[in-house]
Amino acid sequence: MNFDLSPEQKEMQRMARQFAAERIIPNAAKWDREESYPAEFVKEAADLGLLNITIPEEYGGLGLGLVEEVLIGEELGYACMGFDTIILASDLAIVPIKIAGNDEQKKRFFPLLHTGLGAFCLSEADNGSDAGALKTRAEFAGDDVVLNGTKMWITNGGVAALYVVFARMETEHKHTGTVAIVVPADVPGISHNKLHGKMGQRCSYTAEMIFENVRVPRANILGEPGDGFKIAMKTLDRTRITVAAGSVGVARRALEESVKYAKTRHAFNQPIANFQAIQFKLADIKMGLDTSRLQTLYAAWLVDNNRSHGQASAIAKCRASDVAFAAAGEAIQIHGGYGYMNDFPVEKLLRDVKLNQIYEGTNEIQRVVIARSLLK
Amino acid sequence: MKICTVLKQVPDAEASIRTSGSGVDLAGVTFVMDGMDEYGVEEAIRLREAGHTAEIFTLALGPRRFEEAIRTSLAIGCDRAIHIETDEALDVITQARVLADAVKKEGADLVFVGGKEADWDSSALGPALAEALGWTHLDWTTKFVLTGTTIEATHDTDAGNETVKLSLPAVITTQQGLNEPRYPTLPNIMKAKRKELRKATLADYAAHAPLTKIASEAIQVKARLNKILSGEGPETAKQLITLLRDEAKVI
């Protein structure tokens, strides 16, 4: 048993923390207010190597693991959960190619992700948790596949270099009839509408993606036609660990802001930190934070060591995001009236982290995953 | 050319420091590379990027934990590192003598070191190192240009700044304004793993008997008068001015 990080992991953590403190935190409130996508800062992060770190070395990537990604994710989530999402949602395009792509596809697609973002197109207006019920159609035409349909709430939709799109073939069984197709962003027929009015994570670019007679070679299909649903589920089994990592970052931020405030805010002639009502809140956040972080790193370690990880990743994602949402709520409560105002950073934590309980499988779906693994 | 960047690891500027017994208690404190030394590392890398053929090595004298700051320098771009590991709290002159011996043994031509060490707030290490080496030296450097073996550099003085010319070998102390240190990139962090970090001990170098020993340490406590003025605004303002002028002597 060893809880130590390697010197390189510590160095990455330190660099990500410094980048977050100097470049993200000072700007996050502005991006949130203006609902603006921080393109130049995403580029900075990419230049530092923080983007798409899990692309294998043989395809020109850094070949790092999910443990490293979790360490970075916590730091980005601490600074701004929306920014974290931009960077880490890109994994949703890497993982399907990694787990189901062949050598030729990896050689062709991974270079697009060396500096570009990836996006994962599964959800539609009429289906989210019931992922198999998708309506986007894939029709075969000679050596090509033609896509038609509209995807909803797509993170990085419109700013990505590459999309992994899930679609239905003809009218077969809903799970075995899906196909996963890689669609580079420059293929004709792709358009998008940026979605406005999000409650939080407002700097991440979320779009409705429209695929209109989008024609790509059959060679862009990941795995076999019909593997789509399985690929999507296996992908989410991994990527939701990064949602857990961001949540851990949010919980840590909620705790640190609360401790700082509780020590300096006075009531009844003393710092409010003297009151047990406040102390218990801090202790509860700390317990949730530490246990979530351990579970998140454990789930990441399972993936990196090729162990079965579906249940552990569901626990990490569900637990960490529930903890972080509660922590953000308590941080506002500790800050009182100030916490409700956007002059302080805690109300943004709550708005941002609400999404962590929803995307990449709602926390209800996570509980289903956990329960099914117990009862099978 | 060989460039040596001397660095220390110090408590993060935001760390809260306590004393326990007769010394400073550093338990639970986050450490970072001394910010002043970072400018030196950055400048050395920039010299190479500007076309100078140079091997850049990091030299550090201190406890085992210094390794983290040393690795940061390797991740930023230094080629190799020597860590003279010791838990002894050496005074600056003794540190300078040990480091000077190491610089000589490695055959460096140019040494960068922070203008001030953030832990003890001393500005002596650079000048003492130059003295021990018998080299020329420039402190508080804000601009540095190397042509062949000639340096043209600008540094701060009490009243402004001056630009001077000096020749290698030299010790240059660095500070804010010289450059904007970069972040280590992830690929470079991974590459640094394969770079040499050589461990050495004080016994490998000459002259390390400490000249000064710390007897005790205390953290300054700022006492407040807690004097509250009462009365109407204009009246208390007059009292305040009198107090600031006659008692505090600040205006």
The string of pLDDT tens digits covering residues A179-192 is: 999 999 999 999 99
Catalytic residue list contains A360 = yes
Q: Which two tokens stand for residue B4?
A: 């040596």
A110 found inside a domain: no
Q: Which residue of A has its CA nearest to B73?
A: A11
3 state SS for chain B = CEEEEECCEEECCCCCCEEECCEEECCCCCEEECHHHHHHHHHHHHHHHCCCCCEEEEEEEECCCHHHHHHHHHHHCCCEEEEEECCCCCCHHHHHHHHHHHHHHHCCCEEEEECCECCCCECCHHHHHHHHHCCEEEEEEEEEEEECCEEEEEEECCCCEEEEEEECCEEEEECCCCCCCCCCCHHHHHHHCCCEEEEECHHHCCCCCCCCCCCCCCCCCCCCCCCCCCCCHHHHHHHHHHHHHHHCCCC
At B121 the pLDDT is 79
Question: Residue A199: which CATH number?
Answer: 2.40.110.10
Residue A150: its pLDDT value, please? 97
Residues A210 and A253 in one domain: no
Q: Which of A7, A18, A48 is facing B186, going by the closest CB pair?
A: A48
Q: Which of A17, A12, A20 is nearest to A80 (CA)?
A: A20
User: Is A107 contained in some domain?
Assistant: no
CB within 8 Å: A62 and B190: yes
- A249 and A259 together in one domain: yes
**Domain housing A207:** 118-228
Is residue A209 domain-shared with residue A251, that is, in the same domain?
no
Q: Do A62 and B32 touch (CB under 8 A)?
A: no
Indicate the number of domains in chain A.
3
Residue A232, pLDDT score: 94
CA distance A197 to A334: 28
Residues from chain A that touch B187, judged by Cβ atoms under 8 A, are 49, 62
Give residue A21's pLDDT: 96
Nearest residue in chain A measured CA to CA from B190: A8
Confidence of residue A175 (pLDDT cuts 50, 70, 90): low
CB contact under 8 A, A7 and B187: no
Select the residue from A11, A54, A71 to test the B interface by mutation, using most B Cβ atoms within 10 A: A11
Mutate to test the interface with A, among B190, B193, B197 (most CBs of A within 10 A): B190
- A331: CATH: 1.20.140.10
Work out the mean pLDDT of chain A and round it to a whole number.
Answer: 95
- Specify if A190 maps to a domain: yes
Answer yes or no: is pLDDT of A375 > 60. Answer: yes
pLDDT (tens digit per residue) in A326-367: 999 999 999 999 999 999 999 999 999 999 999 999 999 999
Residues of chain A with pLDDT > 70, as a percent, come to 99
Residue A333 counted as domain residue? yes
Statement to judge: residues A316 and A355 lie in one domain: yes
Residues pairing with A192 in the sheet = A209
> Per-residue confidence at B229, pLDDT binned at 50, 70, 90?
confident
Q: Which amino acid is at A149?
A: G
**Among candidate residues A228, A258, A282, the one where a domain is terminated:** A228
Q: Residue A318: helix, strand or coil by DSSP?
A: helix
- Residue A265 — very low, low, confident or very high, per pLDDT cuts 50/70/90? very high
Q: What is the pLDDT of residue A278?
A: 98
Q: Kindly state whether residues A202 and A337 are assigned to the same domain.
A: no
Given a cut of 70, whether residue A171 has pLDDT beyond it is: no
Of A203, A228, A253, the residue at which a domain comes to its end is A228
Residue A262: the pLDDT is 97
Which among B183, B188, B192 has the least Cβ separation from residue A19? B183
Inter-chain CB proximity B189 and A64 less than 8 Å: no
Closest Cα to residue A25, out of A41, A1, A12?
A41
Whether A13 has a pLDDT exceeding 60, the answer reads yes
In a domain, A106, yes or no: no
**Domain residue extents for chain B:** 2-204, 222-251
Spell out a b/e string for B99-110, using b for 16 or more CB atoms within 10 Å of the CB, else e: bbbbbeeeebeb
| Interface A-B: count of C-beta contacts within 8 A | 46
Residues of A in contact with B186 (CB under 8 A): 12, 15, 48-50, 53, 62, 64
Nearest by CB to residue B68, choosing from A10, A50, A62, is A10
Whether A186 and A290 map to the same domain: the answer is no
Q: Dump pLDDT digits (tens) for B157-215.
A: 888 999 999 999 999 999 999 999 999 999 999 999 999 999 999 999 986 788 888 88
Residue predicted with more confidence, B12 or B22: B12
Q: Cβ–Cβ of A12/B192 closer than 8 Å?
A: no
CATH number at residue A22: 1.10.540.10
Confidence of residue A222 (pLDDT cuts 50, 70, 90): very high
Strand partners, A164: A120, A182
Domain final residue pick, A181, A205, A228: A228
Are A316 and A265 members of one domain? yes
Which residue of the set A69, A124, A360, A364 is catalytic? A360
Does the beta-carbon distance from B185 to A14 stay under 8 Å? no
**N-to-C CA span, chain A:** 30
Mean pLDDT value across residues A303-323: 97
Query: What pLDDT shows up at residue A172?
Result: 53
A155 & A259 share domain: no
The least confident of A172-186, A340-354, B30-44, B110-124 is A172-186
| Average pLDDT for B7-15 | 87
In sequence order, what DSSP letters do the residues of A281-296 get, joined into one string? HHHHHHHHHHHHHHHH
Are A58 and A136 contained in the same domain? Answer: no
What DSSP string describes A35-60? T---HHHHHHHHHTT-SSTTS-GGGT
Q: What is the pLDDT of residue A174?
A: 59
SS3 at position A245: helix
Could you tell me the CA-to-CA distances from A260 to A165, A272, B72, B122 in Å, in that order? Answer: 45, 11, 29, 31
Closest-CA residue of B relative to A6 is: B193
Residue A173: pLDDT band with limits 50, 70, 90: low
Q: Which of A100-109, B22-31, B135-144 is the least confident region?
A: B22-31
Tens-place pLDDT, residues A48-75: 999 999 999 999 999 999 999 999 999 9
Q: Give the CATH fold of the B2-204 domain.
A: Rossmann fold (3.40.50)
pLDDT at residue A136 greater than cutoff 70: yes
